Structure 1
């Protein structure tokens, strides 16, 4: 249960802020302000939620899968702004990558995140285009 709360905690807080601030503006008869505040916090809550991205696997599972299918492994951490930026940029291709949340798997020993690994090549804080090039078959 704590795993679920940890993964959804930030999204839950942001959504609660959306309801609270939006509701307060609505109660003050400011519907435009209510809509803007609710929309702002609700969108951020969705972006940082587990719904936005594929579920993470353990480092051992990612290494096994990567060896079998040749897909890169992305090591990331929740609440890391660079990781979230990369995840957002790769949202369309996220299914072609194996994601390892180092906060949930302490055995995933990487020095910095985001890091992308494939066949002995590791990119630290790569651009989305560099990850796409690494993920490209052939």
Structure 2
């Protein structure tokens, strides 16, 4: 769990250290802007925004048990990043499968971002369509 917070922790520490140094130099506006930017960036890359990925087999098992949708995604995919940003706090209500970490998932979706729920497959759905699945 702690490892997943590593990058966010570094960003929060950077914001606190550099922002504190700017405050000591009486640069209030610069300190506030710097701390705000890096703290926001720390939240964006945190597990709150990017829940832990599971394998395709585990996601299928969990989805069958709890009825939550499965999202197949990959790093540096603009659609995936937009979807995760649009879902923000709801991202934890989905099972995320990183197709770059799971070869069987990659083979099944052929590197196309996909959402699956109870046999219904959506390819590159809008955030509103995924929100409807989450409800």
| TM-score bin (small chain) | 0.7 to 0.9
- Counterpart of 1:84 in structure 2 is 81
Report the Cα offset of residue 45 of structure 1: 0.8
More helix by share: 2
Q: How does 1:47-86 map to 2 (within 5 A)?
A: 47-86=44-83
Q: How does 1:109-128 map to 2 (within 5 A)?
A: 109=106, 110-112=109-111, 114-128=113-127
Report the Cα offset of residue 15 of structure 1: 3.0
Mean alpha-carbon deviation: is it higher for 108-117 or for 60-69?
A: 108-117
Match of 1:63, SS? helix
Q: Deviations over 1:3-40 (max 9, x none)?
A: 93xx4454244334423542443343202210111111
Q: Distance in 2 between matches of 1:79 and 1:20?
A: 29
Determine which of 12, 19, 40 is the counterpart of 1:43.
40
8 Å CA contact 1:112–1:124 kept in 2: the answer is no
TM-score normalised to structure 2 length: 0.72
Mean alpha-carbon deviation: is it higher for 70-79 or for 57-66?
A: 70-79
Root-mean-square deviation (CA, aligned residues, Å) is 3.0
Residue 134 and residue 104 in structure 1: after superposition, are their counterparts in 2 closer, same or farther (change >3 A)? same
Q: Distance in 2 between matches of 1:78 and 1:21?
A: 29
TM-score normalised to structure 1 length: 0.71
Q: How many residues are treated as equivalent by the alignment?
A: 133
Report the Cα offset of residue 89 of structure 1: 2.0
Identify unmatched segments of 5+ residues in structure 1.
none
Residue 11 and residue 103 in structure 1: after superposition, are their counterparts in 2 closer, same or farther (change >3 A)? farther
Identify unmatched segments of 5+ residues in structure 2.
none
